Amino acid sequence: MSGAGKAYFGRRYMLSASHRLHTDALTAEQNRAAYGKCNNPHGHGHNYIVEVLVGGPVDPATGMVINLMDLDRTVNAKILERFDHRDLNGDALFATQVPTTENLCRAIYGLLQGGLPAGQLESVRVEETENNFFEYNGA
């Protein structure tokens, strides 16, 4: 019913969260120099776009790499419920690392990898604004 080979399925989600880029490893002045406006003490927020790419063979019975409803369920449970309308600095994952979008991207990859069938997660892309995005594929 379908051709051979690996195909990829991607889906975009949105979450709104606040963060502040700051590390205790640097002085106040060094933090300001490194992070600029993102170091403002009270934090600021973004509408993050999380793009999840899943790869694998196309199931001949469904024509799908993954059922969209299963992917939605996993992303909702593992990512959106955890981070949407939250302060990223308060999340346990960012107790020991700065919530830059690089680190958020890797954290999301790690959380999804545990929730999806082995080997399916290909990469995660997080868009912080229209002009900034970050990608991680586990490598």
3-class secondary-structure state, position 128: coil
Residue 85 is a catalytic residue: yes
Quick note: the x/- pattern for another protein over 41-60, rule CB under 8 A, is ------------x----x--
Report whether 135 contacts 123 (CB < 8 A). yes
Phi, psi angle pair for 52, to nearest 5°:
-105, 125
80 binds another protein (CB under 8 A): no
In the annotation, is 105 catalytic? no
Piece in contact with another protein (CB under 8 A), picked from 8-16, 85-93, 112-120, 128-136: 8-16
Q: Is 97 in the site for another protein (CB under 8 A)?
A: no
Q: Is 96 exposed, middle or buried (0-12, 13-18, 19+ CB in 10 A)?
A: exposed
Which residues are part of the catalytic machinery?
Answer: 38, 85, 128
